[in-house]
Amino acid sequence: MPAPAPIARHTIAVLVDNEPGVLARVIGLFSGRGYNIESLTVAEVNAAEKLSRITIVTSGTPMVIEQIKAQLARLVPVHKISDLTTAGPHVERELALVKVRGGGEKRVEALRIADIFRARALDSTPESFIFEIVGDAGKLDAFIALMAGLGLVDVSRTGVVAIARGPEPL
Amino acid sequence: MAKDRMSGAEIVLQALKDQGVSHIFGYPGGAVLPIYDALFGQNDVQHILVRQEGGAVHAAEGYARSTGKVGVVLVTSGPGVTNSVTGLTDALMDSIPLVCITGQVPTHLIGNDAFQECDTTGITRPCTKHNYLVKNVDDLARVLHEAFHVARSGRPGPVLVDLPKDIQIAIGSYIPPARVVHKSYKPRLKGDPVQIKRAVEILAQAKRPLIYAGGGVVNSGPAAAQLLAQFARVSGFPVTLTLMGLGAFPASDPRFLGMLGMHGTYEANLAMHGCDAMIAIGSRFDDRITGKLAAFSPHSRKIHIDVDPSSINKNVPVEVGIVGDVAHVLEDLIKFWKSTQAKPDAKALKAWWGQIDGWRARDCLRYQNSETIIKPQYAIQRLYELTKGRDDVFVTTEVGQHQMWAAQFFKFEKPNHWLTSGGLGTMGYGLPAAMGVQIAHPKALVVDIAGEASILMNIQEMSTIAQYRLPVKVFLINNQYMGMVRQWQELIHGGRYSESYMDSLPDFVKLAESFGAVGLRATKPSEVDGVIKAMIECPKAVIADIMVDPKENCFPMIPSGAAHNEMLLGPADKREQPISEDGMVLV
């Protein structure tokens, strides 16, 4: 028996018609065929042509990743697909809002760590902060993990958006 | 040109007419009444009134598969839609082009749990190639033309258009089906010449080559089947076909090895296992074909032609994948084959044919005939022998043992004459499908080779058959069991026949008569020929109740979880442990 194929994380950008049901088609495809979704973001990016861009972070063997791309391409409202992970260098960013509650030393420590991570305080009360942090998913994970010991009460994350480096569009 | 401002319902009729639709299959209801009203005042499109919406979809499938045209369905909202879901899924799995128009509650009531409301686009999203909810009457004509384009092009499939009642009444603009250029949907027809060249190089070097073709050849059109035959001729390669592909290559051709897969022939499956180069043409490496994936055709270099890129490398990794329409790709491939004067190793090919002939000599479809009890294989064999002189014979089937026996014993020379539910395995498909075929080919001999369990799932369509005086013939292989379930229970579940026997079956002769059809019955082998002849000669619909051996099993068989070279050839070929533990979980 050959060794099992390695499972890798891929970031896939999909350009779709911004029409009702298009997100349901994409999500239904993933759940119906048993593919993973680690994160998914969607927003309109071209109002004139009514195009939305979906960024999906998924994982699978090379054969599964190829299937995901082929199955996405089969959806009628899908214009373009790019596997940013294999297409070349790209930039990934995610934004998180992190609510921390506490006082005294912990409050000071939270502010100090936020400073190191270049997180901004968006809201402050005598007993809480809301931090905004931007970075790749790993940086957000690290920040949130540190806040866990300092009164973390709530997290909201956008999911990953990504774009290829260099002058070319999708 | 007629007026270009009209009601939504009139737009539907005009679009159908402009798309060349002559027949639609449907069932009225509250949410489609405006369309039925528009139907009433015209003669271009004939409506066939079925008895349940599921029958309408299968009938449209039969119509589509036997003509190469798009089949059209018209049903109401709610239950009309949910009854259609099986047929839509069936059409999606078997790549049958359909347009299904469904009524919907008026737009202002959508989401309010109105009477006969359901989330049609939500329910049918995974079982259609694409679907639309039209909320503006001015989009309607474009959407309908687009629906036909999407249904018939690329890998064909069902497309649904959900039409709220207020849109059917609203007045809007009609646009004719000018050449549809879709913004994002652009299926690829021509194959990549670089890949075609690589394919030819691999095939020209092959010592044990095999062509494995499927339903994609039929869907591509008659030219594809001719090109397949031409390629087999110039290359001298053997050909095997999938269940959906039967007819895409003439069964009488000496290069034909028969159907492959779970109930395929010994020679086809061993050739798949033993080949050193395989070209898959419009076939999709379905689990009924591959058996145990890890042991599937272990020594072959694989080439795959398919119009659907997602079919390539889905189940079986291939060395060369060619995305394109079968006819287009085969045309280029043959041209390239000829221009490079590809000449496979004649000596090796001869040895390969020698090996294949050795497997053929096992005569794997042989069965123990009887003088006293009708063997199902015998009945189907006689049906074939007594109809083979005609070139207008269409065969549909239900699902189960009789379906596999029909695939094994009925020989097809041309595509589009064999209609069966391959991917979904829908019991109840055959009778309505035969009805659709007969509508499209009024003078043809259309036979539903049926099982008594399956046919009861859509037996109500006998009433439609009566209404339109369709001379559909039902050749009922009656073994009083769900035969394939019984067979698996015998082989895998220790002979515990849990719920696979049906008590209180109807008297099918009387049932036929009650629907104005003719009922015939054969209970012993000597009666079979007479019943078949009477059935063929009868100008009316017939149910021929063929009482067969209830205990007969369908062989050859690759048990689930087994490899091609682990076939069971017959009842004497039982193994200690025919099914592995891994195989037990498979269907």
Q: Which residue among B334, B360, B386 closes a domain?
A: B360
Number of domains in chain B: 3
Mean pLDDT to the nearest integer, B121-147: 97
Q: How many helices (H) and strands (E) does chain A have?
A: 5, 9
Structure tokens, B38: 């528009």
Q: Provide the pLDDT confidence category of residue B342 given band limits of 50, 70 and 90.
A: confident
pLDDT at residue A36 tops 90: yes
Q: Which of B251, B263, B247 is nearest to B214 (CA)?
A: B247
- Name the band, by pLDDT with cuts 50, 70 and 90, for residue B183: confident
Would you say residue B442 lies in a domain? yes
Q: Closest partner residue to B310 among A32, A67, A78, by Cβ?
A: A67
Pairing of strands B542-547, B473-478: parallel
B30 and B131 belong to one structural domain: yes
Residue B291 lies in a domain: yes
pLDDT digits (tens, 9 = 90+) for B381-411: 999 999 998 999 999 999 999 999 999 999 9
| A-to-B residue pairs, Cβ atoms closer than 8 angstroms | 43
Q: What percent of chain B has pLDDT over 90?
A: 93
Q: Which amino acid is at B127?
A: C
pLDDT band at B178; cut points 50, 70, 90:
confident
| Cβ pair A76:B121 closer than 8 A | no
How far are the Cα atoms of B203, B211, B303, B360 from residue B280, in angstroms, in the given order?
A: 12, 6, 6, 22
Rounded average pLDDT over B108-137: 97
Mean pLDDT to the nearest integer, B473-479: 98
The answer as to whether B237 is a domain residue is yes
Mean pLDDT of chain A: 96
Res A115: pLDDT:
97
d(CA A38, CA A43) in angstroms, rounded, equals 17
Active-site residue identified among B17, B116, B190, B490: B116
Q: What is the mean pLDDT of residues B200-216?
A: 97
Q: CA dihedral in degrees (B417, B395, B283, B276; nearest 10)?
A: -100
- Same domain membership, residue B305 and residue B388: no
- Residue B185: closest C-alpha in chain A: A76
Tell me the pairing of strands B209-213 and B171-173: unpaired
- List of chain A residues whose C-beta atoms are within 8 Å of the C-beta of residue B185: 76
> Is the residue at B179 inside a domain?
no
- Please list, in sequence order, all residues whose beta carbon lies within 8 angstroms of the beta carbon of residue A112, skipping any fewer than 6 positions away: none
Residue B174 has pLDDT above 80, yes or no: yes
pLDDT of residue B182: 86
Tokens standing for B473?
A: 């013939």
By C-alpha distance, which of B372, B381, B428, B388 is closest to B405? B381
Q: Please identify among residues 28-67 of chain A the ones whose CB lies closer than 8 Å to any CB of chain B.
A: 28, 32, 63, 66-67
The model's pLDDT over B80-92, given as tens digits with 9 standing for 90+, comes to: 999 999 999 999 9
Q: Mean pLDDT lowest for which of A60-74, A147-161, B492-506, B566-580?
A: B566-580
Cβ-Cβ contacts under 8 Å for B523 (sequence gap 6 or more): B374, B547
Q: Read off the pLDDT of residues B279-327 as tens digits, 9 standing for 90 and up.
A: 999 999 999 999 999 999 999 999 999 999 999 999 999 999 999 999 9
Are residue B218 and residue B350 in the same domain, yes or no? yes
Are B54 and B166 found together in one domain? Answer: yes
Single out the residue in B360, B394, B412 at which a domain terminates. Answer: B360
Domain A91-163 in CATH 1.10.3720.10: no
Quote the tokens at residue A36.
Answer: 């993973």
**Residue B184: inside a domain:** no
Establish whether domains A8-87 and A91-163 are of one fold: yes
Report pLDDT for B578: 62
Residue B101 and residue B133 in contact, taking contact as beta carbons nearer than 8 Å: no
What pLDDT does B584 receive? 79
- d(CA B125, nearest CA chain A) in Å: 7
CA distances from A71 to A26, A74, A138, B91, B101 (A): 9, 5, 29, 18, 25
Q: Which domain holds residue B488?
A: 376-547
Q: Is the pLDDT of residue A4 over 90?
A: no
Percent of chain A with pLDDT over 90: 96
Residues of A whose CB is below 8 A from B310: 67, 70-71, 73-74
Q: Please tell me which residue, A3 or A95, carries the higher pLDDT value.
A: A95
**A8-87: CATH topology:** Alpha-Beta Plaits (3.30.70)
Q: Are residues B390 and B517 in the same domain?
A: yes
Q: Is the pLDDT of residue B1 over 50?
A: no
Over residues B167-172, the mean pLDDT reads 98
What average pLDDT does range B456-469 have in this prediction? 98
Cβ-contact B85, B123 below 8 angstroms: yes
Full DSSP string of B182-236: -SS-----SPPHHHHHHHHHHHHH-SSEEEEE-HHHHHH-HHHHHHHHHHHHHH-
- Whether B567 is covered by a domain: the verdict is no
Residue that is written with structure tokens 């049903």 in the block: B75
Sequence-separated (6 or more) residues with CB below 8 Å from residue B257: B238, B239, B240, B265, B267, B268, B271, B356, B360
Position B583 scores a pLDDT of: 78
- Summary mean pLDDT of chain B: 96
Shared domain for B346 and B444, answered yes or no, is: no
The whole-number pLDDT of residue B221 equals 96
Contact B308 A77 (CB under 8 A): no
Residue linked to tokens 């791309």: A69
Complex confidence, ipTM: 0.91
In a domain, B493, yes or no: yes
Same domain, B426 and B498: yes
Residue B271: the pLDDT is: 98
Residue-range domain boundaries for chain A? 8-87, 91-163
pLDDT band (50, 70, 90) for residue A5: confident
Report the 3 state secondary structure along B363-404: CCCCCCCCCCCECHHHHHHHHHHHHCCCCCEEEEECCCHHHH
Question: Do B215 and B259 lie in a common domain?
Answer: yes
3-state SS class at B36: helix
Q: What is the CATH number of the domain that holds B536?
A: 3.40.50.970
Residues B297 and B354 in one domain: yes
Give how far A155 is from chain B: nearest CA, Å.
31
B285 is catalytic: no
Closest CA to B176 of B22, B20, B15: B15
Share of chain B above pLDDT 70, in %: 98
Closest by Cα among A63, A33, A95, A27 to B122:
A27
- Model confidence at B115: pLDDT above 50: yes
Is it the case that residue A148 has pLDDT exceeding 90? yes
> CB-CB: which of A24, A28, A70 is closest to B310?
A70
Encode pLDDT of B233-258 as tens digits: 999 999 999 999 999 999 999 999 99
Are residues B284 and B407 located together in one domain of the fold?
Answer: no
CATH number for the domain that contains residue B254:
3.40.50.1220
Residue of A nearest to B323 (CA): A70
Helix (H, G, I), strand (E, B) or coil at A23: helix
**CB A56, CB A39: distance < 8 Å:** yes
Is the residue at B315 inside a domain? Answer: yes
Is the Cβ pair A74, B309 closer than 8 Å?
yes
Give A148's contacts (C-beta < 8 A, 6+ positions apart). Answer: none
Flag whether pLDDT at A3 surpasses 80: no
Residues B509-538, mean pLDDT to the nearest whole number: 98
Phi and psi torsions of A164, nearest 5°: -75, 145
Of B108, B141, B173, the one marking the end of a domain is B173
Going by C-alpha positions, the residue among B375, B353, B373, B354 that lies closest to residue B365 is B375
Contact at 8 Å (CB) between B41 and B14?
Answer: no
CB of A83 within 8 Å of a chain B CB? The answer is no
